[in-house]
Structure 1
Amino acid sequence: MAKAAKRRIGDEIGGWRLQEKIGGGGNGIVWRVSKAGEPERALKELRNLSAIARDRLAAEIEALGLAAGIEGIIPLLEHDLPFDPAKAPRWFVMPIARDISTLLGKRDALAVVKHFVPLAKTLAELHALGIHHRDIKPANLLVLNGRLCFSDFGLVKYPSRKDITPDRSDVGPRYTMAPEMRREAAKADGSAADVYSFAKTLWIALVGELRGFDGQYSPVGVLSLGDRHPRIFSTPLDELLSECTDNDPTKRPSMVVVQRRLADWIVTEEDFHKRNLSEWFAIQKQLFPHGAPSQATWTGIDEICSVLRLASSTEGLNHMFFAEGGGNTLRAVTLAAEPGFIRLDAGLLSVAKPRKLTYEAFGMGARMNYFRLELEDVDPTGTPGAYISRNGHYEAVCEIRPGEYVTPEAWENDEYKGSPLPAGAALVSRLLKGSLVIFSTRSPYNLTTGTYDGRHDKVSEADFRAYIARNVARMEADRKAAADAGAGADMDEE
């Protein structure tokens, strides 16, 4: 394999003086170069003089020329263009850009996606010209003028280029390559392959694992974005990554769609009201993937725990209303030490014996969908010094060990019978009767202060649903009349 003459620092190429090596691979070297009266630049020199390597450099120069004017590409500033048509160019000059890591930093998910939206637009514009990068990976994304840009178009394909890839050969980066590019790259759809590689590169940028993953993305298991970024609403990103990495290229969305969906996710993520309702709807979709019924009921304690865990899975998602009034965010649900009881963490810990959990849905009024937890009536523990609420809905005790209750004064004094309370001791509200309801934080029910009066427990399950249904109908009528999504509509005070 022929190679170009070995260069040294201080040599000149096309009038550019070599300052230092700043990158390169098997086919070429990237130098930092200087020229009198010019800012420092990056010069890519072809070292491998094989026919394939020279053709790829020529194709890269031509593709960059075709894409001139599209933002988000490291531009071509100058190149070697031999007078002899039989000779391919051997170098070209670009601005100096920085590594992707200098922009993404600690990988805040919202910031990462914001940087990838304009990059998606760039790729969509390339695809509109019939230009396919085919080598998208983190190493080929550089930072120029504060934004991510595509670089290294050595594997590019465009309408006038004759593909030199041998049949049944693969093309692309190992960890982000679409499966069809492994099988028969010459015949593969470059647009769909770019979508696949773009999605995997986005995942790598979000989680920081440079080796990526094999196959299609799944939000269940070790690949989960939600596990790496627990504070974001990951469902829309999960769905998009899964679709983009489908093994069937025809099922992947276009880059225009990818750009729009990423931009929509940013809007949702930054608008708490929209995000909260989207998260609430996402729970419904997980519970009922084939369409939500108007009502669903669970009676098994394990089922009830699983559903309530889902409802409390995202910070700030829900608000739980107690039978005697007031409420708080439900943060966690576990089985309690008392047989048949569950433990609800809503700031203050509660234990309760559930009779059933019901999900109530209202179609167009989905923002008013809610859960109602009906409790079994249970007797107080008889703990000396325990406090029983005015209406007898709960008993306040100190739990010093799972299922072992003592006077709440022990919690106030941080000791019991002369000894410090053990680790894990807690003040517990043991619910004796009644019901609780759980709405999304941004639902009209939660945003109306009068609803904190425990009204849901003062009527039957059926009557409360009818009350919510009437408000849903009224708010929908107001929305249609005002054409403003029902802004400002409150709950009735009945």
Structure 2
Amino acid sequence: MTEAGGKLFNGRYRLIEPIGIGGMGKVWRGRDELLDRDVAVKEILFPHSMPLSERKVLGQRAMREARSAARLNHPGIVTVHDVITCDDAPIIVMEFIDGSSLAQVIEREERLAPAEVARIGAMMLEALGEAHAAGIVHRDLKPANVLLTGNRVIITDFGIASLAGDVALTASGVLIGTPAFMAPEQVDNLPVTAAGDLWSLGATLYAAVEGRPPYTGTNLMAVLAAMIAREPDPPVHAGSLAPILTGLLRKDPAERLDTEQASLALAAVTAAQDGQPPLHTAPSRPWAPPSASKASAWPASERPHDGQLGDLDTATRRHRFSPPEGPGQGRNGDAPASAQPAAARGIRSLSRRRVLLLAGLGAMAAAGVPAAVALTRGPESSLSRPGQWTLAATLTGHTWDVEAVAFSPDGTTLASSDREGTLRLWDVTARKPLVTLTGHTAGVHAVAFSPDGTTLASGGEDKVVRLWRTG
């Protein structure tokens, strides 16, 4: 189904053109030839590394969730028309929305006025309330999943996004979601409730009014590190919307604004701004990536790329999509040095799951050291005299450039990873390899041990975080 347009599916849905793609989904503009209307056809694409048994389970879950979402009937929620299968993969047929996503509006406008954002938020909250009342949690709410057309604000991917949340951390250690808009409890692999959607709502509105998400970083690990180590920066452009954003972005779900509180607060902001212009809706037109010379809502060094964690990109509208990153793109290095001490100070009070998801903040960079890891030894009393350090050993075995290394908490084991996606564990005392770990399909740029040394986390270009346990 993903090879070419024009295919007639299920004797009814004609594929016209691809309009969006993400880590776990591809969207086509299609035509319902029975009812003579445009539709959006979304195909779920499982990660290549996912075992067949898991694909079947997730396929069944996707069907169940999409059928649940089809029960929703609200102008602020994209309508699910049909749920079918192709080669054991779920196919979701949805309402085709001809409009701009909130992410595209932010990209064009850089920031939106607080009153406008409050009106968008109020309409989003009404739609979320409808879904939550039906027992459906979105779990991947973000500007790319919010469409603006006419006077409508439409949330997309209900049910389908629930699939991505349900496999937030599977047995194979694959984390799926969008880190810049993911609730802290979702990062912790805790049950995600309606409160998680409210956190993501706050992050989405924060991005709209500030021009950037509440947490940014040069890469995925830096974003997660910022999230678990500190509170979001106070908004500076939000005006009367600021206390609402702060209330929605409380890390503890019990302290977060609930739906009723947020609704009343947003209504108060919009009521106080009755003289403001109407809801922002840009004219519909094919969207193209901004030129390099145009200022972006997210600076290139901080922009949270869609699909970093297997993001299910929503594109149920008539817009072109950005071409996928080429080899080597999106690798922006580790977290800034200034961010690392703050993250390190916060680690002691964090759960082990959060520490694992840092996946490399404590790792020593070794990129550019082809096929070998060098151990050096220096005086215990000082790390500031590099001239006194001597080479202790050279460990060989990698066949590609070494990307990252990390010591276990007790210092007896060293983990290293390379551009091919291979991890190796070494006995530091004996200077011998212990085990080779495979499973990543692309280069691994970050590795980190849990505080007790029983679990190793790894992450890289295949957009997944894997957890490896001893024993």
TM-score, normalised with respect to structure 1? 0.45
Mark the structure with the bigger radius of gyration.
Answer: 1
TM-score, normalised with respect to structure 2? 0.47
